[in-house]
A and B are shown apart, each in its own frame.
Chain A
Amino acid sequence: MSAVDETTETAAESVEELGARARAFIRANLRPLGRGGHRDFARSVVPDDEEIASVTRAREIQRMLWDHDLAGVCVPREYGGLGLTPAHQQALNEELAGYEFPYHLQTPTMSPCMAVLLDFGTHEQKLRHVPAILKGEEIWIQFLSEPSGGSDVAGALTTAVRDGDEWILNGSKVWSTGAWWSDWALCLARTNWDVPKHRGLTVFMFPIDQAEIEIQRIEMLNGNKEFCQEFMTDLRVPDTDRIGEVDQGWTVGIGWMFHERMAMAHNEPVITWPPVGGHGIYGAGLLVDAARQAARLDDPLARDLIGRGYTTALVGDPLQRRLGEGIAGGHLSDQAASIGRLYGWEVMKAMLTIPFELAGATGAAWDDDDGALYGTGHAYMVRQAIAIAGGTIEMARNVISERVLGMPREQSFDREVPFRDVPRGPTS
């Protein structure tokens, strides 16, 4: 299961050549990230106009990558990519350390959405969307989780009913990041209530900006409104925008989950992301920024925390590489991507917690002059979002123990019964 083009091109560009080309492009066109003040979603409430400006900038950077033959390094050439290897993508990632990059276009647009399209879409569907994604013209969103169930995604209640060449969708999806500035949605819907839950699902795609889709923004505990809930009322989707077979949506869903976990683990070759051990967003350098701002660079306790975070970050990249190689080489089940998802949380937990610890009381009360310590309390308090979004760490632990180690599966009451007869709580 891979979005990577396995065919080897003759006279393909070498990893070093791509790295050198990327370096030249990045130095000439991209802005280096400033020190301190990483005002990401966790630390602060980004005003809507700033959010839109940064999304616009992300589209611009993506377009520049496209124009300079650096977009879709591992995407097949026939869909606008370069058809090269994960090692080439890694070279681009490393060159991006310390520079801006199209952050908003990675997850979920490149993966899982584009990766799912590449794995399961028809040739026509891929031709229509993949180049547009690689040019920064289409930002995608997942319509996956529902208010009635978080981890149990196959228990979707959103319903699609066939009407000639179209489907009519009704239901609600939730936890989609930035739906209000996105363009297209990938949606899992129930098309058959009379079969067990995994056998009655189908996947669709559609543009978000339609009257039949109402978007509400959800305010997180730190005041951020990046997540959304959507309500679909008699939304019509042409059958040509169905991905995969009718009622076989869980086949697509399994691939979807796989890519989501790989993306959460920063181990997805269609994702462009600088190494986490480096400087930049969630890089270990931010620990030093925080300690410097707190005037604790010489404090052995602060240095222990920095060393702890740096260790966690440094182990991350080789682990993800090992898992990727283990899966590709058949040494590990592809479910081992969950190990990477779990470890990705370890890294983010360190990056969201240690600056707060270094901040002392400034972690609880700050102002605009606090630089790298600004908003560390918010980041700390909202950190569990990282352990929930993209598949909870509890689900990851289930998958690792059951699918990687082969331990007995948890008992469930929704197998081998028609979905409409599955017990549901009083609120759903």
Chain B
Amino acid sequence: MRWELTSDQQFFRETTARFLEDQVPVATLRALRDDPLGAPPDYWRRGAELGWTSLLVGERLGGGSISDAGLVDLTLVAHEFGRHAAPGPLTTANVAVAALAAAGDAHAAAVAAVVAGESVVSWAYGEPIPHDGFGTVTLEVRDDGDSVVVAGVKRPVEAATQADAFLVTGRSGDGLTQVLVPADAVGVAITPLTTVDLTRRCGTVSFADVRLPASAVVGEMGGAAEQVEHQVRLASVLCAAETTGAMQRAFEMTVEWAFERYSFGRPLASYQALKHRFADMKMWLEASHAASDAAADAVAEGAVDAAARASAAKAYTGDQGSELAHECVQLHGGIGVTFEHDLHLFLRRITLNRSLYGTPADHRQRLAALLIAREEAA
């Protein structure tokens, strides 16, 4: 998170932070472990009232931002979600509603419901093995006169059992098509998966020749590639910001521990072997803040390096976030690997964000392609 926020942004961030402290303290998170929804009743709707779902939607469709850059504002929420290991489909719902809003008025009613927190639309993008290579899309969207037919399987889909509808990315010949599919449409089957996070849920969603009116298409039939690329960037920025928040909290907990825990008559913080590891962690943490913020700015502005910045932030926070979380566990000793200690809440969140929407290795492949293309053009 950047050093300087406007007073409006500061107020906005603090409001969310206070709400999360009040509604989902760690005791509540632990109690939600086996809850199918993974969140207290009415939690998401009240969060939506605070602005969690409206920042990537223009004012005409009922959204609006705090600053001029809604994505930057949204990273403040993501940061607090990371710091609190908060429940809720923040990334997937915002990416989905941004795509719906980008399609103009066609899906205005769905947008309004998401913005109000009355419904959740989740982005269904990834596919199961052997089609799980990042960016691989085999799910088929067929044009059939007045209707479209959706056939294929998506996995993992965030908030699969909670979602009222899915923004499904599919293939139509050579092009990509996105379709808004209600969760209760005939032919949709949802199976929960076991997920590393304590409160965020994922599932497998299969579409057995699901037939919908042609109006369910979001954007142009076969013309969604550019929008999908934008969604990858948005998801990368939000995951990076949230992971940075989780890193911040895990690091603070571990620094505090190092001062309070004594071995051989001296605090852990006095051992040079450990101090040097804290120094590395501090570097990873500040670099993650910087990478996330630079990515948010670049994607919000539509800068020429937006794709590279987004992937660098996703790859860097994925790798160094995991590394930092494991170091925090190690420096805590045995207590760090127990369920009783809070550290795993942040390790879980970092691990989930690392794996969804492209792993660090996937984003390195994107970065290599971008750099090679730039150098070939130079």
List the interface of chain A (C-beta within 8 A of B).
Answer: 98, 279, 284-285, 287-289, 291, 297, 300, 302-304, 306-308, 310-311, 314-315, 317-319, 321-323, 325-326, 329, 331, 336, 338-339, 342-343, 346, 394, 396-398, 400-402, 404-405, 407-408, 410
Q: Please name all residues of chain A whose beta carbon is closer than 8 Å to the beta carbon of B368 when the two chains form the complex.
A: 302-304, 306-307, 310
CB closest chain-B residue, reference A407: B269
Residue-wise, chain B 48-73 has the 8 Å CB interface mask toward A (1 for contact) of 00000000000000000000000000
**Interface status of B80 (Cβ within 8 A of chain A):** no
Choose among B269, B278, B283, B366 the residue with the greatest number of A CB atoms under 10 Å from its CB: B283
Please give, as numbers and ranges, the residues of chain A lying within 8 Å of B375 by CB-CB distance. 279, 285, 288-289
A323 to B258, CA, bound (A): 24
Secondary structure dominating the interface of B: helix
B299 at the interface (CB under 8 A from A): no
Check if A322 sits within 8 Å of B289, measured CB to CB: yes
Please state if A322 and B290 are interface contacts (CB–CB under 8 Å). yes
Contacts A306-B368, A318-B290 given; indicate if A343 touches B316 (C-beta within 8 A): no
Nearest CB of chain B from residue A386's CB, rounded to whole Å: 16
B371 touches A288 (CB 8 A): yes
Residues of A within 8 A of B313 (CB): 315
Q: List CB contacts (< 8 Å) of B263-295 with chain A.
A: 266-267, 269-270, 272, 275-276, 278-280, 282-283, 286-287, 289-291, 293-294
Nearest first, the 7 A-B pairs at minimum CB distance are A307-B364, A401-B275, A303-B368, A318-B294, A400-B279, A397-B279, A318-B290
A300-B378 CB under 8 A given contacts A311-B315, A318-B291: no
Contact partner, B278, options A297, A396, A407, Cβ 8 Å: A407
Task: Please tell me if B367 contacts chain A, counting CB pairs below 8 Å.
Answer: yes
Contact A315 B312 (CB under 8 A): yes
Q: Complex Cα distance A342/B290, Å?
A: 15
- The total of chain B residues at the interface (CB under 8 A) is 46
- Measured CB to CB, the closest approach of chain B to A137, in angstroms, equals 34
Beta-carbon contact of A307 and B366 below 8 Å: yes
Contact B279 A401 (CB under 8 A): yes
Known: A325-B4, A346-B283, A397-B276. 18 other contacts (CB 8 A): A302-B368, A304-B361, A304-B365, A307-B366, A311-B363, A311-B367, A315-B312, A322-B3, A322-B286, A339-B282, A343-B283, A343-B287, A398-B279, A400-B283, A401-B276, A404-B282, A405-B255, A410-B272
Q: Number of residue pairs across A and B with beta carbons under 8 Å?
A: 139
Provide a sorted-by-A list of 25 A–B residue pairs whose CB atoms are within 8 angstroms.
A279-B375, A291-B372, A302-B368, A303-B368, A306-B371, A307-B315, A310-B364, A310-B371, A311-B367, A319-B287, A319-B290, A321-B290, A322-B3, A343-B287, A397-B276, A397-B280, A398-B275, A400-B279, A401-B276, A401-B279, A405-B255, A405-B275, A405-B279, A407-B275, A407-B278
